[in-house]
């Protein structure tokens, strides 16, 4: 099982808490997924008021580790301020750091992301940065104090899957000992399995489960796909080849004159 900042997590699935049809369906999906981490936006947890209190009670009852995020932040100042507020509300030094740089694709701003990560790491946060699959940015985030990287598979909520397999493989190969989580863009269980087969440590998804016709059934399907992908990777799969290779041996085969 993956370890993040010295903490072993019970599952390779991380699940978001937004957009579900109801709190009951959210809880059912989490139980079906076996997810070990729930990402929660500070904006979703409304601090005071009945709605916020009820939601936070539900999250605690799930029995999972909470990973607050800075979703929707577009500047270093906004992200750092939100992170500090989240630490007070949720009582954790873990923070999923998002600093959005492009409105249409929700692509992270790499320059602001690295700066915010450096500030938060120096202040005692354990940062999970939402980033692209760029090797240079990844290296700078690690230099800034991050011990986990969360590259996107595709734009948030797009369901496109792994749009740059080469980049994701390169990131895994370049940083073999760094926990890597594919975050965003995964739409099908097959996408999750492919990420695990590449050697990623976990996946984080939200929309693909929350917006499914049956969120609990989809969560279960993703759980199976993640398990299958991780097991396939561990089994040391065969290398692909360009030419056919007969699976039936020639020796002992009958020949007709």
Q: What are phi and psi of 113, to 5 degrees?
A: -60, -45
Q: Give the chain's length.
A: 257
The pLDDT, as a whole number, for residue 218 is 96
The pLDDT, as a whole number, for residue 188 is 97
Q: Are 233 and 196 in contact (CB under 8 A)?
A: yes
Q: Are 230 and 12 in contact (CB under 8 A)?
A: yes
- Domain assignment present for 241: no
In the Cβ-directed half-sphere of 196, how many Cα atoms lie within 13 Å? Answer: 27
- Domain assignment present for 158: yes
- Domain assignment present for 178: yes
**Which stretches of the chain drop beneath a pLDDT of 70?**
43-53, 249-257
Sign of CA dihedral 72, 185, 128, 213: positive
The pLDDT, as a whole number, for residue 95 is 97
Of the residues 77, 96, 140, 211, only one is catalytic, namely 96
The pLDDT, as a whole number, for residue 176 is 96
Query: Is 223 annotated as contributing to ligand binding?
Result: no
Which position has the token pair 């948030």? 156
The pLDDT, as a whole number, for residue 49 is 52
* CATH number of the domain that residue 207 is part of: 3.20.20.70
- Domain assignment present for 245: no
Tokens, residue 153: 């598979």
The pLDDT, as a whole number, for residue 214 is 96
Query: Is 252 annotated as contributing to ligand binding?
Result: no
- Domain assignment present for 240: no
58: helix, strand or coil:
helix
Q: What angle do CA 141, 146, 150 make, to 5 degrees?
A: 75
Domain that holds residue 55: 9-235
Q: Are 116 and 147 in contact (CB under 8 A)?
A: no
Q: What is the DSSP letter of 102?
A: -
Q: How many domains does the chain have?
A: 1
- Domain assignment present for 90: yes
217/194 Cα distance (integer angstroms):
20
Determine whether 21 is exposed, middle or buried from the number of CB atoms within 10 Å of its CB (0-12, 13-18, 19+): exposed
- Domain assignment present for 78: yes
- Domain assignment present for 65: yes
96 labelled catalytic: yes
CB atoms within 10 A of CB 212: 16
Structure confidence by residue, pLDDT tens digits, 167-194:
999 999 999 999 999 999 999 999 999 9
Query: Is 82 annotated as contributing to ligand binding?
Result: no
């Amino acid at each position: 099982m993956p370890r993040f900042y010295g903490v072993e997590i019970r599952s390779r699935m991380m699940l978001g808490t937004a957009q579900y049809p109801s709190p009951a369906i959210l809880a059912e999906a989490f139980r079906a997924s076996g997810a070990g981490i729930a990402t929660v936006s500070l904006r979703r947890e409304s601090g005071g008021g009945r709605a916020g209190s009820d939601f936070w009670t539900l999250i605690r009852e799930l029995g999972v580790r909470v990973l607050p995020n800075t979703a929707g932040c577009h500047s270093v100042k906004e992200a750092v301020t939100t992170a500090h507020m989240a630490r007070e509300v949720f009582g954790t030094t873990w923070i999923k750091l998002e600093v959005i740089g492009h409105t249409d694709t929700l692509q992270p701003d790499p320059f602001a992301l690295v700066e915010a990560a450096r500030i938060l790491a120096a202040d005692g946060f354990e940062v999970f940065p939402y980033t692209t699959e760029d090797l240079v940015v990844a290296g700078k985030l690690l230099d800034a104090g991050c011990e986990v990287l969360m590259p996107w598979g595709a734009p948030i909520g797009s369901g496109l899957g792994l749009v740059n397999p080469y980049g994701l493989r390169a990131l895994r190969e370049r940083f073999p000992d760094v926990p890597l989580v594919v975050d965003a863009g995964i739409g099908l269980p097959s996408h999750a399995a492919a990420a695990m087969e590449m050697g990623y440590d976990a996946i984080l998804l939200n929309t693909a489960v929350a917006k499914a016709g049956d969120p609990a059934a989809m969560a279960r399907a993703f759980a199976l796909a993640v398990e299958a992908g991780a097991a396939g990777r561990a089994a040391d799969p065969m290398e692909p080849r360009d030419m056919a290779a007969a699976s039936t041996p020639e020796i002992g085969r009958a020949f007709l004159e």
